[in-house]
Structure 1
Amino acid sequence: MRRIALLLVLVLSACEVTAPPPATVPAPQSSALPPNTRVAAKNFDAVSQAVGAQARAECKRRTSGGNCDFRILIDPDKRAPANAYQTLDKQGRPVIVFTQSMIASTRNGDELAFVMGHEAAHHIRGHIARQSQNAAVGAIVFGQLAGLTGGNAAAIDAAQQLGAVVGARSYSKEFELEADQLGTIITYNAGYNPLVGVLFFDRVPDPGNRFLGSHPPNAQRVQAVNQTARQLGLIR
């Protein structure tokens, strides 16, 4: 089961809802960033303050007794690929981490706010716990099936690992759409335009609708944002 626990961490860290250790690394000073990232980092500070405040307010409104004390950090690794993810530190405090290349890839504060709001929404919706539970259930079910069909210890272990992957991915697309919906609200309440922010998807490769894919098609995500924006009165 120790191998299964490790696998669950690896499964969860394969997408934006993840629990890796880098969350404890402090953000670097803006002067330490590359020149092409420095301007974006200044924008990052303003956006993170606005989005962080709204994320905390939304978290307190939608959860009971949950940790809503968000930290928003910049990954000090200059070579890290473009990525943003939500994790938890050792105290269970929600942390949102942006790589420097991710910050530089955004074209305006609206895009940065939208991505940030999306990651905050993962925590508010409890996606790490829900995904971990799904993975654990998948591991148990697949392991039991392997045992019932006469599998040996190695076969059962392999089935558990496969079940963890399948379980973790079963609702990951739904989680992403939930985060897009709530992230739209957080972005709007923070004073940014989610309809401009969602244009970030125009530059992201479309994952399509793959079986057990971690993310839904870009068009489906844009539709979720537009529907929420319409409810907010941004679209008539």
Structure 2
Amino acid sequence: MIRYLASCAALLLVAACAAPPTTGPARPTTPPEALSDSDEQAVARRAARQFITVVEDMEPIAERACRNRTSNINCDFLIVVDDRPGMPPNAFQTLNRQGRPVIAFNLALIADARNADELAFILGHEAAHHIEGHLARQAQNATAGAVIFGGLASLGGASAEAVRNAQELGASVGARSYSKEFELEADRLGTLITLDAGYDPVRGADYFFRIPDPGDRFLGTHPPNAARRDIVRRTAAEARSS
């Protein structure tokens, strides 16, 4: 199910009634400052149609993968659009208060996607985070880090405030300890979900080359972009040959 937030609701709901989009560029090559109001509206409608089509194709495939690979978790994905202005392109996965998995895209990312394959791969990647249980595993790592760092500080005779600071540091370190592995796991499963829905994950992973490369920093939250694209290529090749 797609839920549209605030001001973008009318645009997306109207666009859903239009003709399906192509998988070509979502934006014209004309510089943004040269676009008229009608041109900008046409670009927005095309981006909205493309996003809706991708969600309609991907959601049932992601939910089927979730049901086939897990047990006793909620696989009813809720797709939402964050329409806050001025935000950099972003998508993320979380849970709502009822434990329902939520995948959020903001307007900047929807507009920035050059084709449907990029949107599909990003959605598959975020769905894979839920299927792989990454939120719960990250919370466990954070708890373990807090216990270890806090315990060491306490054994060293630290004050109560110093122990609390150590626990906060430990939680941060613990949460980051396996985040790179989580991202690569999500890339791998996201590739399979994207393929199953009829999209090209390798083309979709081209998005990595248009965002800053985090490199391979110690305790960084994301692996190098080249490593991510490599695992997408290898996973897709293996799936297509099987």
Under a length normalisation based on structure 2, what TM-score does the superposition of the two structures give?
0.84
Q: Is 1:29 matched with 2:5?
A: no
Query: CA contact under 8 A between 1:56 and 1:68: conserved in structure 2?
Result: yes
User: 1:135: which partner in 2?
Assistant: 142
Match of 2:111 among 62, 82, 104: 104
Q: How far is the alpha carbon of 1:207 from its aligned partner? A: 0.3
Identity within the alignment, %: 54
Query: CA contact under 8 A between 2:128 and 2:190: conserved in structure 1?
Result: yes
Q: Is 1:52 matched with 2:32?
A: no
- Between Structure 1 and Structure 2, whose CA radius of gyration is higher? 2
Query: CA contact under 8 A between 2:150 and 2:164: conserved in structure 1?
Result: yes
Q: Is 1:115 matched with 2:122?
A: yes
Higher relative contact order (CA 8 A, sep 6+): 1
User: 1:219: which partner in 2?
Assistant: 226
User: 2:163: which partner in 1?
Assistant: 156
SS, match of residue 240 in structure 2: coil
Cα distance in 2 for partners of 1:144, 1:105 equals: 46
Deviations, residues 131-179 of structure 1 (Å, cap 9, x unaligned):
0110011001000000011101011000000000000000000000000
Query: CA contact under 8 A between 1:110 and 1:197: conserved in structure 2?
Result: yes
Q: How far is the alpha carbon of 1:25 from its aligned partner? A: 7.3
Under a length normalisation based on structure 1, what TM-score does the superposition of the two structures give?
0.86
Q: How far is the alpha carbon of 1:40 from its aligned partner? A: 0.8
Query: CA contact under 8 A between 1:169 and 1:214: conserved in structure 2?
Result: yes
Q: Identify the range of structure 1 (193-202 vs 157-166) with the bigger mean alpha-carbon deviation.
A: 193-202
User: 1:12: which partner in 2?
Assistant: none
Q: How far is the alpha carbon of 1:122 from its aligned partner? A: 0.3
Matched pairs, number: 213
Structure 1: which amino acid aligns with 2:9? Q
SS, match of residue 72 in structure 1: strand
- Mind listing any 5+ residue stretches in structure 1 that lack a counterpart? 1-22
User: 1:40: which partner in 2?
Assistant: 47
Q: How far is the alpha carbon of 1:232 from its aligned partner? A: 1.2
RMSD across aligned positions (CA): 1.9
Q: How far is the alpha carbon of 1:42 from its aligned partner? A: 1.0
